[in-house]
Amino acid sequence: MKIKKRIACLIAACLLAISAACTGSGNKPATETISRYIESDITPPIEGQFYSFLTPEGVIACYSQGLGEFYESSDGGNSWSQKPGPGANSDRFAGVIAAALIGSDKLIAFHPSEGMLIIDPDGQAEHFPIEAMDEALAKGEWVMVSFLAAPTENRLVVAYTIGGFMQQVQSAAPVAGGSTQTSISAASGSGQSSGGSEGPGEPQRQQMQAPVDMDSKAGIYDLSSGALICDLSTGELVSNMFPDFMTGAASDGEYIYLLGASGNIYAYGITDGIQESKWNIGEDGSQRGAGAIGMFNRQTNSLVYSNGGLYAATQNGDIVYTGRGIDTKKAIQSESYSTGIPQNSVSALFASGEAIIVSMSSQNSNRLYRYEWDENAIVDKSKILTVWSLEENAFVRAAIAELRKSSPEAIIRYETALGEASAQMASDAIKALNTRLLSGQGPDVIVLDGLSLSSYEGKGLLADLSSLVGTSGVYDSLLSPFKRDGKLYCMPMQFLMPMFVGSEGTLGRAEDLDSLIGIVESGNSKPPAPEPGTPFSGIASQDRPELYFNTFDELIGLLWMASSPSIIAENAIDSDALAKYLEAVKAISTKYALAEPLTEFGEMRIGFSDGGNVQMVPGSLMRYISQQSNYAAFRAGNLQLLHMVMDRDGSDASLFPGLSKGAWEPSTIVGISSDAENKEFAAQLINSMLSTQVQEIAYGIGLPVTKDAIASQIALINERMAGAGRNSFSIDADGLISQLKEPSIADAVLFDMIRPTIQKCCEGTLSVPEAVKELEQNAKNYLAERS
C-alpha cells in the first residue's frame, strides 16, 4: 500500500476516533478499528549493543559488539537462529567502531589501529584502502569514523575525522558520563564538517574543544574531516563531499541519498558522485543523539529507500516519508511508539517487505522493533489521551512510551506549545491553553512547568488525584506542599535542588546569603584567562575566585530558585526580600563582571551525557571541577553530574544558602483536567511517570521524586564506578531531600517579565530601590490576574 494512502487513512481514522471520544453518550467504552502501524519487539537474544542489517534476500542480520555473535531471521524477527560471528574466536574485532553489510554475509568495518577492513564470515579480513585515512594511521595520527554505510552493492559512504582534541586520563576523577574516555566533542559534535561546501572539496581543518578530566593531559589540535563515496570493488574515490553530520544513507539505484543532522537530504549521482539536489524534511528533522563521536551506539543509518520514497528518522523519533517531489509526511509518530523514548536513538532503519524495521540504541543496549501497517487495528476509545506541556519534555515522552507498551490499543498525543517551529511567547501559549480549558476542550493531562500553579489548583480546572494516583513511594517533603485540604490537584514528577559544593569543613562558612556574599566579595575577582590550548587547567589556589558563574543568567536563575518563595507569597511581592535578592545578584555580578559581554572562554560550552539527552554543564560546576574556584553553586537535576563534581578530592555538598531555607524547584508538575473524559487512563500515565522504569533514567531535567528511583540511580552509578575501578558515590540523598521545604515554582511569564529589570540593576542603570519599584509595578497586574 502506498504511503500517502496510509497516512491519509491514519489521519482520518484518528480524527474519527477523537471525535467519537469527545461526543460520546457516556456508554460503556467501546473499541473500533482504524488503519495504523502496529509495533512488535523483535529484539534478538544479544546482550548489550549490536549492529543490525537487512541482506539482499530480506534476512535480518545482527552482529554483537566485537562481532562474536551472529543472529539472523528470515521471518521478520519472529524467530532467530544463531551461529558464531567472524569475531567468535578472536578479540581482533573488539575495537571495531563502525560496520556495514556488503552483500549477504560480508562486513566492511573500521578498526582504529588497522583502518578499514573487509571481513568474511569466517573471520578472515583484508584491508580496504582509503588514502587519507591510511596515510594518517601510518603517521600515528588519531582517526575516527563517525558514519559508515553501503547503500548499494558497489558503493561505500564513509565520514571520518583525523586529529582533533585528545585527552589522556591520569587520575580516578570522572569525566562526563562517569567513565574514563578519550574523546573529542564540540558544538557541532560531528567529527564531520558542520558547514562548508555541499559538493566535492578537500578535507576541512578546524579546531574543537572537549570536556576534560581535571588531572588529564590535554590539548587542542587541528583536525581534518572527510565525507566520501567510494567504489567498493576498486577503492576508487567517487565523490568527496561535505554535507552536515551524516546520519543516514540510502539508494534507489540511480542516486545515493544522504541524511544530515540538520534535516537536509542530499542526492548524489550514483555513477559520478555529483550532487543533484537537496531538500529538507522539516525543522524537526535532525537526528537525535548525533553528537557523540566514537560511541558504539552512534554509528547510525537512519535512512532507507522503500515504496518509491525515503523513510527517515528525525530528532524526536518520528519516522517520516519523503522524496524529491514528495511532500514529507509522518509515517510513525514518536509519541505513540517506542521510537519516542528520549534516551534512545535510531541506530538502524531498513524496510523488509511492507514492514519498517527500527533498531533503537541506548547507552548499554539495543532493541529491535518491527512496524507493520494494519488496516483494522484495534483502538480503545476510552484510551484516547492528549498531553500538553509548554516545552518539550523528555521525561514525559518516556512515560508515554512506557504506557504505550502496556496499552497498544491507545492513542496518545503529545502537544508542546513552544516547539522549535513555534513563534509564540509563553504568555500567548498559556492564554490559549486557558481558553481551551475554560471551554471544556482542553488536554487531558497538563504539564504545569512554567505555569502559575495558583491559577489552576483548587479552581475547578484540575481533578483531584488523591484516589487516582499511587504516591506511597514519593518523598513526603516533595509531596506534602502540594496537598490542599487533603486533596492533590497536581504533583511533581521530578525536582531540582540548589546545591552548594566545596571542600569538607568549609561549607559552614556560608551559613546564609549574607555570609556567602561576604566570602565572594573578600575573595579574588574574575579568574585569569587560561593558557592557550589548556582551557581546563587549574588555577593556583591563591588566585582562584571563591565562587564563579560563567553567565549572568546562570547566576540570577540559581538565586531566584533559592529565594523566590520569600519574594513571592500569596501572589504578592515582599519588597524587602526582593531588595535583598537584587543586592545579592548585583554584588556577585559586579564582582565577576557577569553583566558585561561574555569573553571567549565564557562562551565555551561543555556537553554532558549519561546515556540520555546531552545537557550543558553549568559554568560554576565546570570551574570547580577544573580547580578554578573554591566553591560551586548550581541547580542539581542529575545525580551523575552531582557525583562528578563531588569526586573532586575532599568535596562536600549542602543546600545553597538562599533567602528561602530549604527552597527547591519542582519540575514536570502534572495534573489532570477536570473535564478529561477518561481520568482513570490519564492517571495511568501519571502512574507510569512514577514507575521505577521511568524515574530511574536521568533526563537532565530533574531528580526522581521516588525513593526507589533515587536508590536505583545511585546503584547504577556505583555499578559503573566499580567496573572502572573508581570511587563509589557516597551521598545522604534522603537526608538532603528531607531538608527541602518550600517549592520555588518556575513561572515563565513572571520571570520573563522581571529579568530585564534585574539586568538593568546589575548594569547600574537602576538602583536597587528603583529596580524594586519597577518590578512591583510591572508584576502587579500579572500577579493579581493569576490569583
Look at residue 181 and tell me whether its pLDDT is greater than 50.
Answer: no
What's residue 644's pLDDT?
81
What's residue 25's pLDDT?
42
Transcribe 420-450 into DSSP letters: TT----HHHHHHHHHHHHHTT---SEEE-TB
Binning pLDDT at 50, 70 and 90, where does residue 518 land? Answer: very high
Look at residue 548 and tell me whether its pLDDT is greater than 50.
Answer: yes
Mean per-residue pLDDT of the chain:
81
What's residue 787's pLDDT?
64
- Specify the 3-state DSSP secondary structure of 518: helix
- Whole-angstrom Cα distance, residue 431 to residue 400? 25
Calculate mean pLDDT across residues 11-33: 47
pLDDT, one tens digit per residue, over 560-612 is 999 999 999 888 899 999 999 999 999 999 999 998 865 544 444 555 555 44
pLDDT, one tens digit per residue, over 312-337 is 998 778 899 999 888 888 888 887 78
* CA distances for 416 relative to 46, 421, 430, angstroms: 36, 10, 11
Look at residue 641 and tell me whether its pLDDT is greater than 60.
Answer: yes
Look at residue 455 and tell me whether its pLDDT is greater than 60.
Answer: yes
Binning pLDDT at 50, 70 and 90, where does residue 292 land? Answer: very low
Cβ proximity of 59 and 74 under 8 Å = yes
Calculate mean pLDDT across residues 273-295: 59
Look at residue 479 and tell me whether its pLDDT is greater than 50.
Answer: yes
Which secondary structure element, helix H or strand E, spans residue 84, and what is its range?
strand 81-84
Among the listed residues 256, 659, 177, the one whose alpha carbon sits nearest the alpha carbon of residue 266: 256
What's residue 28's pLDDT?
52
pLDDT, one tens digit per residue, over 124-147 is 999 999 998 999 999 988 888 989
pLDDT, one tens digit per residue, over 756-784 is 999 999 999 999 999 999 999 988 888 88
C-alpha cell at 724: 572502572
Buried b (16+ CB within 10 A) or exposed e, 300-313: bbbbbbbbebbbbb
Look at residue 289 and tell me whether its pLDDT is greater than 60.
Answer: no
Binning pLDDT at 50, 70 and 90, where does residue 533 land? Answer: low
Look at residue 282 and tell me whether its pLDDT is greater than 90.
Answer: no
What's residue 423's pLDDT?
52
What's residue 150's pLDDT?
94
pLDDT, one tens digit per residue, over 697-735 is 877 679 999 999 999 999 988 888 887 788 788 888 999
* CA distances for 755 relative to 428, 515, 585, 591, 771, angstroms: 18, 25, 12, 19, 11
